[in-house]
Structure 1
């Protein structure tokens, strides 16, 4: 599996050169996937789970020395950590908390100080059984998580980082497991979804001050479930999706007192929003509007916006004008939205929207019609990390930097500058290498049609110049890519022809 970190340069509407994506390290040689997950910031370190093909899914860290295996928590078995998407770790004090399995205690809550071996923080289900800790969040010196003690089923728990003790907080379904998920801090309470054999799966809150649990609302009245998902806190409100028989799955908000349905794009019982895996990030804010992945009654997963000022919902853009856009994640940073979407040609790839211009695909990470499916976004300082798939490296770790976040190369043994960009004529690509390399250059339009290709060429140490003939190319956006002999993506970015 290849662990690749790709720094994708974006067009900022200026003619300056771009910092380019680069492979940082091949963690697992070959085409298998390291499938990085649980991305989390620990100071200036990026901590995550990954598989190097030898040790299974274990604790990894990326810092100034590169990406390296931090600890093999379960050396006697395949893996200590999972590959579940849309999960993170929780930082409190000098420790970071996460679920792991050491091969003896099952999957339980662990903590790590960034230097010494990770320690078992709490064994909820004693012995070799797993308590199944999955979601972990930090709030006021405590770690909230879901776990099963073997007696009460899966419930909400808390770990006190001062006393180093774990306590079960809820028993929502006293007849069995409550299946707690989507644990989120809003205002001063802990919100989550849970199952009760009277009201089904609905939204609950836990008050740490009064040690009390409350049903927020039985949105789908009776035993049927509304199954709230995608909980996201924006501008003093809790936004989420939920299902009712009458309206399907729609966008809702909660202001601490009242739950309100906000959308019904497809009027009636058909859903305006598809259900997703637990915790998927498909709701985000940009400016004064709330953006989400919605359905138009025929096709799924287009970019929609809800305006809290007037209550209106509007279609922003169909990345695929004749089919499903299938937006699978939306991530807001500064004044932009990044999201994975399809256009009917390139598969599910990384797109960007700044709130005014037409959304555009940043790069075709998995060349052709197959999908890179970017997800698990995390911003650290001036870098956005995420996981995605390409043909040569499998599912790996990528990074993104554009001029609004600061341009910076990470670990590519050289630099690539593309100029002028935008251009009215030909384009220069300067490839400056620290060591000789065999590379190929390709430029394709947004439909995937190749307009220029320079097959494998030997480039010497130092500056190499490639002239890309664009004078007769139609105006529009193009994707350029630089690959090595094995077909691994070294650089990709956008080129604009005026």
Structure 2
């Protein structure tokens, strides 16, 4: 049973553009779409077997494992570790055999856990652990003997652990550690005289430690430190109220602090005294605006404040006085909505607020007044649900509201940003009582929390969510049985099938997407020449036609046998991918867009002069950043390298620098293949091109923002002129689209994946027998599996990274052809920037 709708996280949508928009421009956000995930249900790990509680807490992620404190009933409250399974959850070490070790301050420093504990002999001191009993040890007895060094506020900054040590009668002092006893030392005694000064707000600002010191009559001081005594210096002193919050965004450090004559307001700093200035006196007098809840959403700072006339409401700033403004007066007038518990989920701000009618409930905002809305009135009426925990896991908001009038601390809920998609995950404590849920923690896409199901006590619970798993899909070209193969990123073949019949040898064009919205990657196939315009949609895990959504239709007149090209993208932003087709040779440049839900035609048009019969290749990507897939076209053989981009809804050509240009020399007529992906991670998909037959393996990537060349390289030996087909996927899951290539006809099945960042070789394998020189088509995508239901990866017969004889696209011929193609010209002048500029100066203009 599907249990909630989720945000679509398709491959080609990642982090949004970080631009210098005008202050009234809404944030460019990832659109929250109705999607459904695989069925998932939380499971518990009974650390203290029986009805007694282990009370797990202090959850901290280190290298994909969860460290925490728990009591198994034998050792007392001690250090535990979990990989999310019962077998992988165990006591790390009984640090204090005679009682509780009082573990606290759990901190990850470069894969090693640091924390404070007492072993019953020494006081509370600094400890470290690698997850094993032998590797769990005291770093240093800072206060020798039974006394306590009392390290607090541990923070990792570039491999140095900073902390404060509270020394009785002297207040706090700044210390650091490299994980050794000798390397655990005082950085600087900020105030040598006995005093009760307090250090707090330890923050990493571009590799430098910033913190505040409450220095009594001296006021509150903002400090910075590079880890040396000389490099530890005061930045600015505030004489009124303390520094309550510090948050870095890029090269700006925001803080809330008070100053005489201004009150408690929002400040910013570049790390210097002169550069530490008031952002805006929001309250306008010597009163206080009380800014709080500082949260970064795509470079914009959101917070709560009051201007003295309206109540405490949602504000935002770009760091300038003019750009600091009220987002929305949620509880109109002088009353306050008390917007708080801010969480950034894929560019949308989620928070709690009280509009005066519905009580404190879940809200969201895109940074505009109109886009700031109540998500759901969970507890109907003015009472409110009093949400107290919120966390982002894989683009979904998990939270805990109070919905029972019988006490307790709520159950786990999830939201995709819609009212319908805001639901209870599971009633862990059945009936009117609540499960007392706490400590929602995201560990690499797995949600950990503690809860009480009324049977096992308060224990550790785990919810395995979807794992994004890249896949590479190839289809054979003409001259060999039509076969689709699915590979993992290591080149292991997971699946192969014949989408039509094994006897059909006209070629299989492939595209990938999620047509039915189940989170599993679907494979869309189209028959090549001699096949009808038959489109089918298969589940990538089993090779069967999908359930739900369109899965089998003819894109054009069934009598047309010229072949079809296919692409996939959500053109109308309905949360389901749509199918885009282009007729091949003999059919005219006829583009059609079919709804993935019901197969209806959304739009159709001719990408070029209708009399052109060389065919048209298609790709889909969000070129203009409006969260809708656009259609990228390129002519087939006998057409010039003319790239165009159209709206997938209207069929009209879009405006922009990369919507109408020539990718190569206009005199090249071998056709072009296209793909799209956000290669530079700017929130817009870029255009990837490769020449067709008679062209060299020359791959280009054009920025959708300004048409600049992001990448420009040869995928195979420059003398191979069989053409290259391209695809795109975030294969290494770094947030940047990567480039997938396969050779065209006369080339072997050499499948390659290049990093979109630096062209590093991410994958390199043969899709099929190495001696097959018929060529391939390729597509990439991401499937979203739940950890325990991901398909196993069988051994693959065609995953070899080397063969006895290299295929033709990798071999330099002994006697190169005498025919001089455009790639030969390119090769000759490739060494000269001036000649390149001269030849290609007109590119980008038809």
Say if 2:221 is the partner of 1:159: no
Cα-to-partner distance string for 1:445-471 (whole Å, 9 max, x where unaligned): xxxxxxxxxxxxxxxxxxxxxxxxxxx
In the superposition, relative to structure 1, how do residues 249 and 124 fare at CA in structure 2: closer, same or farther (>3 Å)? farther
Distance (whole Å) between structure 2 residues aligned to residue 158 and residue 239 of structure 1? 32
1:66: Cα distance to partner? 2.4
Paired residue secondary structure (2:115): strand
Distance (whole Å) between structure 1 residues aligned to residue 101 and residue 72 of structure 2? 11
Larger relative contact order (C-alpha < 8 A, sep ≥ 6)?
A: 1
Distance (whole Å) between structure 1 residues aligned to residue 78 and residue 119 of structure 2? 10
1:114 to 127, 131, 143: 131
Size of the alignment, in residue pairs?
Answer: 387
| Range 140-149 or range 342-351, more displaced | 342-351
Paired residue secondary structure (2:43): coil
Distance (whole Å) between structure 2 residues aligned to residue 212 and residue 256 of structure 1? 24
1:110: Cα distance to partner? 1.0
1:372: Cα distance to partner? 2.4
1:67: Cα distance to partner? 1.3
Indicate the residue corresponding to 2:413 in structure 1.
Answer: 351
Cα-to-partner distance string for 1:52-108 (whole Å, 9 max, x where unaligned): 1222211111246321111011112233325xxxxx632224521112122233222
Distance (whole Å) between structure 1 residues aligned to residue 97 and residue 147 of structure 2? 18
Indicate the residue corresponding to 1:136 in structure 2.
Answer: 154
Distance (whole Å) between structure 1 residues aligned to residue 434 and residue 142 of structure 2? 39
Does structure 2 retain, via aligned residues, the 8 Å contact 1:184–1:231?
no
2:353 to 281, 290, 294: 294
Distance (whole Å) between structure 2 residues aligned to residue 260 and residue 178 of structure 1? 33
Say if 2:401 is the partner of 1:380: no
Say if 2:117 is the partner of 1:100: yes
State TM-score, norm by structure 1: 0.64
Paired residue secondary structure (1:89): strand
In the superposition, relative to structure 1, how do residues 52 and 247 fare at CA in structure 2: closer, same or farther (>3 Å)? farther
Does structure 1 retain, via aligned residues, the 8 Å contact 2:256–2:291?
no
1:111: Cα distance to partner? 0.7
State TM-score, norm by structure 2: 0.40
Structure 2 residues without counterparts, runs of 5 or longer: 6-33, 237-253, 265-287, 470-517, 519-846
Does structure 2 retain, via aligned residues, the 8 Å contact 1:155–1:177?
no
Distance (whole Å) between structure 2 residues aligned to residue 373 and residue 327 of structure 1? 13
Indicate the residue corresponding to 1:433 in structure 2.
Answer: none
In the superposition, relative to structure 1, how do residues 386 and 153 fare at CA in structure 2: closer, same or farther (>3 Å)? same
Distance (whole Å) between structure 1 residues aligned to residue 302 and residue 189 of structure 2? 23
1:164-243 aligned at under 5 Å gives the runs 164-168=183-187, 171=190, 176-190=195-209, 195-197=214-216, 204=222, 206-208=224-226, 210-215=231-236, 219-221=257-259, 232-236=295-299
Structure 1 or 2, whichever has the larger Rg, is 2
1:273 to 338, 361, 385: 338
In the superposition, relative to structure 1, how do residues 285 and 51 fare at CA in structure 2: closer, same or farther (>3 Å)? same
In the superposition, relative to structure 1, how do residues 153 and 293 fare at CA in structure 2: closer, same or farther (>3 Å)? farther
Does structure 1 retain, via aligned residues, the 8 Å contact 2:41–2:426?
no
Distance (whole Å) between structure 1 residues aligned to residue 2 and residue 185 of structure 2? 45
Distance (whole Å) between structure 2 residues aligned to residue 100 and residue 377 of structure 1? 24
In the superposition, relative to structure 1, how do residues 395 and 168 fare at CA in structure 2: closer, same or farther (>3 Å)? farther
1:191: Cα distance to partner? 5.0
Structure 1 residues without counterparts, runs of 5 or longer: 1-7, 83-87, 276-281, 407-421, 423-498
Distance (whole Å) between structure 2 residues aligned to residue 200 and residue 10 of structure 1? 53
Cα-to-partner distance string for 1:179-226 (whole Å, 9 max, x where unaligned): 444544344444556544359779x46353843344565644459899
In the superposition, relative to structure 1, how do residues 18 and 94 fare at CA in structure 2: closer, same or farther (>3 Å)? closer
1:77 to 99, 105, 115: 99
2:385 to 325, 330, 336: 325
1:178: Cα distance to partner? 4.4
Does structure 2 retain, via aligned residues, the 8 Å contact 1:173–1:197?
no
Distance (whole Å) between structure 2 residues aligned to residue 332 and residue 235 of structure 1? 15
Say if 2:81 is the partner of 1:21: no
In the superposition, relative to structure 1, how do residues 311 and 19 fare at CA in structure 2: closer, same or farther (>3 Å)? closer
Indicate the residue corresponding to 1:389 in structure 2.
Answer: 452
Structure showing the higher strand proportion among its residues: 1
Say if 2:150 is the partner of 1:91: no
Indicate the residue corresponding to 2:679 in structure 1.
Answer: none
Does structure 1 retain, via aligned residues, the 8 Å contact 2:294–2:303?
yes
TM-align CA RMSD: 4.3
1:33 to 53, 78, 96: 53
1:257: Cα distance to partner? 8.0
